[in-house]
Amino acid sequence: MRPARFGDWVGGARIRTLPMAVAPVLIGTGAAIFAGGPGEYHWVRALLCLVTAVSLQIAVNYANDYSDGVRGTDAVRVGPSRLVGSGRASARSVLIVAFAFFGIAAVAGIVLTVLTQYWWLLIVGAACIAAAWFYTGGKRPYGYYALGEVFVFLFFGLVATLGTMFVQVGTLSQEAWFGAAGAGLIACSAILVNNLRDRDQDRLVGKRTLSVLIGSTASRVLFVVLLLAPFLLASWVAFLYPELWFSLFALLAALPACVIVVTAQQPRELIIALRLVGITQLLYGLAWFWALAF
């Protein structure tokens, strides 16, 4: 096996998952611009939130690569090969890169804490890093006990969105709660379809994801519910903010993803669905930002 090249390391960052980090920051920033008075918007704080969220997402991706790799979970994969599991990179080097991105997230979070003087953000930041690591790390990773979707909804939905708004204007709006819930549900659908793709392999190695526990059919139904429910939330809010109707354009990616997941015969087909979920998440976040900010 050849050593990992630059492209392999970029692939290890799983760029297609980054909309999970970007969309909540877009929604929270849009809500902050809408709720804040003239000159109250803090673009530096918004940028720090983005750096923190993206760095955490990349860090958890490398940490997942490391943890699953050393456990042997990634020895046989349907999706893209992993750095440790494929043998292209040592577990130590992948762990170092994961810690580097955790460090970037921590530094951005500390700067944000100093600027806002909200010292309790240090506790929130520590919880985010711990949640990212223990997804598949540690002796009892919660990702192996069907809790991945719960934590993703909490941290890549509520915490990321509401935190972004609060550090900018010091308050939370009802619109931000709706947007946070929508972003969180789409993020959950991404985790679910990823685990549905790897369901057979995960069951063999004892990784009890939600998809393993509830089965293939229930996983497909739940995926459709998770991916489409956010559009019901957006439609409700759109009666007050008409520009939010543009969020329905994200259905151009969401509906094909639902069709693929419902009809897929082979796990590899779900890779395309996962990519479409990422596009859905990004378009959804942009629509909320546009509707609330402008």
Strand, coil or helix: 145? strand
At position 135, the amino acid (one-letter code) is: Y
pLDDT 10s digits, 160-215: 999 999 999 999 999 999 999 999 999 999 999 999 998 988 888 888 999 999 99
Contact between 40 and 89 (Cβ < 8 Å): no
Q: Considering only CA atoms, which of 262, 228, 221, 273 is closest in space to residue 248?
A: 228
Range 122-142 average pLDDT:
93
Contact between 25 and 50 (Cβ < 8 Å): yes
Contact between 235 and 273 (Cβ < 8 Å): no
Question: Tokens 């439609």 map to which residue?
Answer: 235
Task: Label residue 120 exposed, middle or buried (CB < 10 Å: 0-12, 13-18, 19+).
Answer: exposed
- If one counts every other C-beta atom within 10 angstroms of the C-beta of residue 41, the result is 17
At position 47, the amino acid (one-letter code) is: L
d(CA 157, CA 4): 33
Give the pLDDT of residue 75: 61
In the predicted model, is pLDDT for residue 94 greater than 70? yes
Give the pLDDT of residue 213: 95
Range 210-231 average pLDDT:
97
Cα→Cα distances 286→115, 184, 259, Å: 26, 15, 24
Contact between 111 and 48 (Cβ < 8 Å): yes
Q: What percent of the chain is modeled with pLDDT above 70? A: 96
As given in the structure block, the two tokens for residue 56 are 């955490």
pLDDT 10s digits, 65-87: 999 888 877 666 666 778 998 88
The strand pairing partners of 208, in sequence order, are 145
As given in the structure block, the two tokens for residue 76 are 């046989």
Task: Label residue 161 exposed, middle or buried (CB < 10 Å: 0-12, 13-18, 19+).
Answer: buried
d(CA 255, CA 30): 26
Give the pLDDT of residue 276: 97
The strand pairing partners of 145, in sequence order, are 208
Upper half-sphere CA count for residue 83 (Cβ side, 13 Å): 29
Beta strands in the chain (DSSP E): none
What mean pLDDT, rounded, does the chain reach? 93
Query: Cα-flanking dihedrals φ and ψ of residue 145, to 5°?
Result: -130, 35
In the predicted model, is pLDDT for residue 6 greater than 90? no
